[in-house]
Chains A and B, each alone.
Chain A
């Protein structure tokens, strides 16, 4: 079964660092792009960026460039989303999703999400 398993919920204080993960299984992880999507409480979906684990080619949304770091470790089929200085406004659900193969752009497999709460 193709799946993305995300790390568990996090509660952090402002100014702290955090790295959440997304582990792929059931497919060739290095050959599919992984996207990260933010959903703030009660709000819509926001595109953060995308990484190709095969060579770590990474593209950020202008809105998130410099605010987060997306990385991947292909040896353990895992992608990461990292913050160095969390703010209360980073409180959200974060999803990873796989870009499917073929001529279309589509996110065909989604993780269940990681809830991040930043509060003093």
Chain B
């Protein structure tokens, strides 16, 4: 089973700043099978990025994904107040999926 490790656990930034979230896999992940989700308190997760770099429908272009192999990154170019949430990466391989432990993006 592939283990995803996200860093940092918590990221404290101000609105308008740039956020860079990392997701590292214990072995190589097919890029098509790497996704990012956002979860706000009391809500279900929401798909942000699929295929490592493709924004889901309706996701603002300040969100971008990159990476390949075992290192992936979610970047939020200029933080808006509504972006403060928990972010998870997720992969699927060998008929099972795993999530990273999450990065909490909090207001500084």
A and B form one complex? yes
Residues of A that sit less than 8 Å from B by CB: 35, 37, 44-47, 49-50, 59-62, 95, 97, 100, 103-108, 110-113
Known A104-B33, A105-B33; judge A110-B99 contact (CB<8 A): no
Nearest Cβ on chain A to B106's Cβ, whole angstroms: 15
Nearest Cβ on chain A to B31's Cβ, whole angstroms: 9
Whether B84 sits at the interface, judged by CB under 8 Å, is no
Are the CB atoms of B32 and A59 closer together than 8 Å? no
| A59 proximity list for chain B (CB < 8 A) | 95-96
| B1 proximity list for chain A (CB < 8 A) | 61-62
B-side interface residues, number (CB < 8 Å): 28
Ordered by A's residue number, 8 sampled pairs between the chains whose C-beta atoms are within 8 Å are A44-B101, A45-B88, A45-B90, A95-B45, A104-B50, A105-B35, A106-B51, A110-B46
**Docked CA distance A44–B33 (Å):** 19
**Docked CA distance A46–B56 (Å):** 22
Closest B residue to A93 by beta carbon equals B44
Instruction: Determine chain B's interface SS by DSSP, over half rule.
Output: strand
The answer, among A47, A62, A100, A113, for a CB contact under 8 Å with B99, is: A47
**Docked CA distance A60–B97 (Å):** 9
Whether B26 sits at the interface, judged by CB under 8 Å, is no
Residues of B that sit less than 8 Å from A by CB: 1, 32-35, 37, 39, 44-47, 50-51, 54, 56, 86, 88, 90-92, 95-102
**Docked CA distance A45–B97 (Å):** 11
Nearest Cβ on chain A to B50's Cβ, whole angstroms: 4
Known A44-B101, A44-B102, A45-B102; judge A108-B56 contact (CB<8 A): yes
Are the CB atoms of B45 and A103 closer together than 8 Å? no
Closest A residue to B31 by beta carbon equals A104
Closest B residue to A113 by beta carbon equals B44
Are the CB atoms of A103 and B32 closer together than 8 Å? yes
Are the CB atoms of A107 and B102 closer together than 8 Å? no
| A105 proximity list for chain B (CB < 8 A) | 32-35, 50, 91-92, 97
**Docked CA distance A81–B29 (Å):** 28
**Docked CA distance A47–B37 (Å):** 14
